[in-house]
Amino acid sequence: MSIFRKPLFLIFLFLLIVGSVGAGLHFTGNLPAGLFGAAAEAVAEGEQPGQESDSDDEKPEVMAVPVELAQAQAHGISAYYRAASVIEADRLVDLTCRTAGRVQTIAFEEGDWVEKGTVLAELENGREKIQLRKAKLTMADKKRLLDRNKEMLTGELISQQEYDDVESSWKLAEAERDLARIALEETRIRAPFSGRITDRKIVIGQQVPITAPAFTLGDFDPLRVRINLPEAVARKVSSGQRVLVSPEALDKDLEARVERISPVVDPATSTVRLTLLLEDVDELAKVGGFAKVRITTDSHHDALSIPKLALVEEGALRSVFVAVADTVRKVEIRTGLYDETHVEILEGLTDGDFIVTMGQGGLRTGTLIKALNGESLGYESPNADNDVEPDTVAALVENN
């Protein structure tokens, strides 16, 4: 009997070890899934082992993605080039002192309108006035002497040489008077043209040197804007062309025209300077104000175009989603001119195609869609009667 007990003991010991390991794996959740695990789950759910579950035949319902559509159609489109610059006066100059001296009077202030030739300020000039008066008296004496010698020459009482000497003396006195008049005039600062004073740089009693700036005078009719365009763009612009100028401080656009186009290209920047003329702006624009310029460089009439919102850009590739029945397909396109809202389509679409303008984020070819504005566009889809939750529509608008 002892011969048979040893194998039985070993078999019992093996089964005990296997059972202990299995129990440990069961309680720790590491028991491998297999036939017995599947059978146990089936029994726990009230199914017989080997019986097929009804859930295998059920598939999740595919929800339509809410989108908004637009139609590719003919649309006039223009390409614009935008630039920025400042508004300039027709003339804006610094008036300087032509002689040294102390400021005696100031007749006008900043913002005052002055006519051409008006004296704006005057330096101390008592000496210059006396010298001018002296020169005038000397000239008057010379003139009387010349008149007497002229009568004597007629009566042949003096020679022609004597008369010529007196006449030269009178002309010299006349020149001295003119010089004294100029010296007095240099103590006065006059407006060289009609305009408005924008800056007063001197005060009464100030000692100023020669060429010291005294006033800044501006002529604001008309106003101008100067911009620099790349050479390729400048070639598309013509003299006299209308341009829109948008001053930063205004809520409206002002119309200007191209007055001059420089005949040369700046070698440092490869740009061409254009001078734009603003006329009859009624002080809406201020000199020195920042302004944006929009200039038309090309126009296409009846171009096939779509809203820019429909574009899906991936690097250099541009594509759109075209609605086909209740799904979409992704189509690569080639574009032309752009404006603020539309883009010209050169290849990829045909007139009348319905394209997705909102909701493209989660789309790919074959995605089921629900057109929110399909009825207004005349687009019919098998999903037209499907309801879309309001929260879904709000999320669509927010994500786009």
Q: Name the residue range of residue 353's domain.
A: 66-78+301-399
Same domain for 166 and 120, yes or no, is yes
Same domain, 207 and 319: no
Same domain, 103 and 185: yes
In a domain, 329, yes or no: yes
8's CB contacts (< 8 A; 6+ apart) are: none
399, 398, 392: which is closest to 65 by C-alpha?
Answer: 392
Q: What are the φ and ψ backbone dihedral angles of 136, each rounded to 5 degrees?
A: -70, -40
Does 35 map to a domain?
no
173 is a domain residue: yes
Whether residue 351 has pLDDT greater than 80: yes
Residues 145 and 99 in one domain: yes
Query: Residue 23: what pLDDT?
Result: 60
Total domain count for the chain? 3
pLDDT of residue 217: 95
Q: What is the domain-level CATH number for residue 227?
A: 2.40.30.170
* Within-domain flag for 234: yes
The SS3 call for residue 367 is coil
93-117 per-position pLDDT tens digit: 999 999 999 999 999 999 999 999 9
Selected residue with higher pLDDT from 350 and 5 = 350
Do the domain assignments include residue 21? Answer: no
Residue 112 belongs to domain with CATH number: 2.40.50.100
| Structure tokens belonging to residue 346 | 């050169």
Q: pLDDT (tens digit, 9 = 90+) per residue, 221-247?
A: 889 999 999 999 999 999 999 999 999
User: For residue 115, is it within any domain?
Assistant: yes
- Does residue 40 carry a pLDDT above 60? no
In a domain, 6, yes or no: no
Average pLDDT of the residues of the chain? 83
- Do 146 and 243 fall into the same domain? no
Task: Tell whether 14 is covered by a domain.
Answer: no
Domain boundary residue among 194, 214, 234?
Answer: 214
Residues 156 and 239 occupy one common structural domain: no
Clarify whether residues 271 and 368 are in a common domain.
Answer: no
Q: With contact defined as beta carbons under 8 Å apart, do 258 and 274 qualify? A: yes
pLDDT greater than 80 at residue 249: yes
Using alpha carbons only, what angle is made at residue 76 by residues 73 and 78, rounded to the nearest 5 degrees?
Answer: 130
> Is 309 found in the same domain as 260?
no
Segment 152-179 shows an average pLDDT of 92
Residue 394 and residue 289 share a domain: no
Confidence band of 395 (pLDDT split at 50, 70, 90)? very low
* CA 126 to each of CA 73, 144, 187, 205, 235: distance values in angstroms, whole numbers, following the listed order: 82, 28, 10, 15, 61
> At residue 46, does pLDDT exceed 80?
no
Domain boundary among 249, 278, 298: 298
Q: What tens digit of pLDDT does each residue of 375-385 get?
A: 888 887 665 55
Q: Distance (Å, rounded) from C-alpha 200 to C-alpha 217?
A: 9
Residue 247 and residue 178 share a domain: no
Write the CATH number for 73.
Answer: 2.40.420.20
Q: How far apart are CA 180 and CA 168, in angstroms?
A: 19
194/274 same-domain check: no
* 156 and 109 part of one domain: yes
Domain boundary, last residue among 275, 298, 321: 298
Question: Percent of the chain scored above 70 by pLDDT?
Answer: 80
